Structure 1
Amino acid sequence: MATVIAHRGYAGVAPENTVAAAIRAAEDGETTMLEIDVQPAACGTPVVLHDERLEGRRNGRPLTDASGLVWETSLETLQLARVLGTDETVPTLTEFLEAIPETVGVNVELKNPGTTDLRFAESLSDSVRAERREVWTPFVERVVDVCAGFDGELLFSSFCEGALAAIRDIAPEYAAAPLVFDDLEAGLEIARRYDCEAIHPPRNVIVGTGLATTSYAGFSDAAPDIDILETAHAEGRTVNVWTVTNWHQFDQLAAAGVDGIIADYPGLGVPSSVR
């Protein structure tokens, strides 16, 4: 049975990546893990926010009532920025982890170390890999320091190989996973390079599902040329798929045998017979 991972704290029903979303998601009996995004404030403190700019939008609504690049914004300003028109504000990673029980795991996505040059979703050469690891190291060290105070399960993921190189170097005791975007072979190469415990592909690359012929996350509607689920399982890796928005998608992926499903809404894993 696939475990349920609350995407940004079930972003479909709560202001994403906020303490309120965390508490609500953790209280749901179906939730195994929360998925969150972290990046630095101007002072380097890890904060929980997805977009690199504060004036991003969600379905026409401003992400926050502030503006500017997150890593150029003071921590004080970030902690006062209201999220999606609610009273919830941008939390620090410390505040977020302190708000939830350690019976619920946390998937910490290393989103950005404070740069617009991310080398997103690339399998890097040796020389570039070393350089990108150094770019990520100061921020990842700050994140690991905060997470050391949380006794629940932790999984670190990223679209950026430099982030995974840094987490493996700094804290190899934690589980890690590459997020896959538009290149299955690159994702598998990175997973192998760092002996990652998991891999996180998008929902439309799981062979044998109807979703595999739909376009999403950089992939066209052509059938995948790699069976990433079979390959990853043969290599001993967990496969957690992102991001599911309805029960039709959830049912197909669960039936295919994925290990975890990153979902925007609670209740999608409830058996169809009792929906």
Structure 2
Amino acid sequence: MKNMCVAHRGFSGKAPENTLAAVRMAIALPFVRWMEIDVQLTKDGVPVVIHDFSLDRTTNGHGKVKNMDYEHVRRLDAGSWKGRAFRGERVPSLKEVLELASGRLRLNIELKTSGDMYPGLEQAVIDLVNAHGMRDEVVLTSFDASALQRIKGLDPRFRTGLIYDSRSGDPARKLKELDCSFLSISFDRLNPRLAELLAERGIRVMAWTVNKAKEMRRLAGMHSEIMICTNRPDIWGDTFLEV
């Protein structure tokens, strides 16, 4: 299917982002082939699926993820902020998400890190993905170039992707420097010339975060291979599966 739908942090328009509830709701839609999630490390080295460096916005906890043990993080409520129906939803471990997604969804796993913020994050993620036999179903992405370089040094078989939202610079050149085959880019940064150039070079492009049908159609008109990352996969379905 062209212009594939990527569920951003799961079906985060309807369920609390980066939770098992959001993953299940994405899996329930047969046209969702990909999902984007965010991964960080707890103080005791467990990869967990959460976007913000702080616990404050999406849980009833406070403080930095990196300063908390996994047992503390897993006891937090990560669902009530989205609605009473999701009360008691937890911050999942990456292991839990991999087990749920295996054979159902391909994953864009964003490593949320900068510099030496999370020593061992890349190895921990690689080990889990390999343990679940999902290396070919995963792309590991990051804003942080050093994280992408570490991944290639640890296991060059992994596909890597650069996340890019700058208004300037040359993303195509940066991808080549980092040996990346995937570009995650803000949808309003994309233009037809760049999309065509990247396609010619064999780079897979994912545009984020696209929640309006008009923008989805504009991107689809730009190039058929652009992956559309959205909080609202239901809108993607209404837009591209019209009878």
Corresponding residue number in structure 1 for 2:76 = 81
40, 65, 69: which one aligns with 1:70: 65
Residues 192 and 136 of structure 1, relative CA distance in 2, 3 Å threshold: farther
Corresponding residue number in structure 2 for 1:237 = 203
SS in 2 for 1:109: strand
Do 1:37 and 1:111's aligned partners in 2 also have CA atoms closer than 8 Å?
Answer: yes
Do 2:40 and 2:118's aligned partners in 1 also have CA atoms closer than 8 Å?
Answer: no
Corresponding residue number in structure 2 for 1:55 = 56
Matches within 5 A, 1:240-259: 240-257=206-223, 258-259=225-226
Residues 271 and 82 of structure 1, relative CA distance in 2, 3 Å threshold: closer
Q: Counterparts of 1:160 and 1:76 in 2: how far apart (Å)?
A: 28
Corresponding residue number in structure 2 for 1:201 = 185
Do 2:165 and 2:189's aligned partners in 1 also have CA atoms closer than 8 Å?
Answer: no
Uncovered stretches (5+) of structure 2, i.e. residues with no partner: 81-86
Q: CA deviation at 1:259?
A: 2.4
Q: Counterparts of 1:229 and 1:256 in 2: how far apart (Å)?
A: 7
Q: CA deviation at 1:30?
A: 1.2
Letter in 1 for 2:172: L
In the TM superposition, what whole-angstrom CA distance separates every residue of 1:62-116 from its partner, at most 9, and x where no partner exists?
x10000000001111110111141221111101111122423101100012xxxx
Q: Confirm whether residue 143 of structure 1 aligns to residue 144 of structure 2.
A: no
Q: CA deviation at 1:254?
A: 1.3
Q: CA deviation at 1:186?
A: 4.7
Q: Confirm whether residue 189 of structure 1 aligns to residue 173 of structure 2.
A: yes
Do 2:145 and 2:178's aligned partners in 1 also have CA atoms closer than 8 Å?
Answer: no
Uncovered stretches (5+) of structure 1, i.e. residues with no partner: 57-62, 113-117, 119-131, 209-226
Q: Counterparts of 1:207 and 1:73 in 2: how far apart (Å)?
A: 41
130, 144, 147: which one aligns with 1:163: 147
Letter in 2 for 1:10: F
Q: CA deviation at 1:194?
A: 2.3
Corresponding residue number in structure 2 for 1:219 = none
Q: CA deviation at 1:172?
A: 1.3
Corresponding residue number in structure 1 for 2:43 = 42
Q: Percent identity?
A: 26
TM-score by length of 1: 0.79
Q: Counterparts of 1:21 and 1:271 in 2: how far apart (Å)?
A: 19
Q: Counterparts of 2:72 and 2:93 in 1: how far apart (Å)?
A: 12
Residues 271 and 136 of structure 1, relative CA distance in 2, 3 Å threshold: same
Q: CA deviation at 1:139?
A: 1.3
Residues 206 and 186 of structure 1, relative CA distance in 2, 3 Å threshold: closer
Do 1:161 and 1:178's aligned partners in 2 also have CA atoms closer than 8 Å?
Answer: yes
SS in 2 for 1:43: coil
Letter in 1 for 2:165: F
Q: Counterparts of 1:21 and 1:135 in 2: how far apart (Å)?
A: 27
In the TM superposition, what whole-angstrom CA distance separates every residue of 1:12-41 from its partner, at most 9, and x where no partner exists?
111111111112211211111110000000
SS in 2 for 1:53: coil
TM-score by length of 2: 0.89
Do 2:6 and 2:233's aligned partners in 1 also have CA atoms closer than 8 Å?
Answer: no
Corresponding residue number in structure 2 for 1:105 = 106
Q: Counterparts of 1:184 and 1:164 in 2: how far apart (Å)?
A: 21
Q: Confirm whether residue 14 of structure 1 aligns to residue 15 of structure 2.
A: yes
Alignment root-mean-square deviation, CA = 1.9
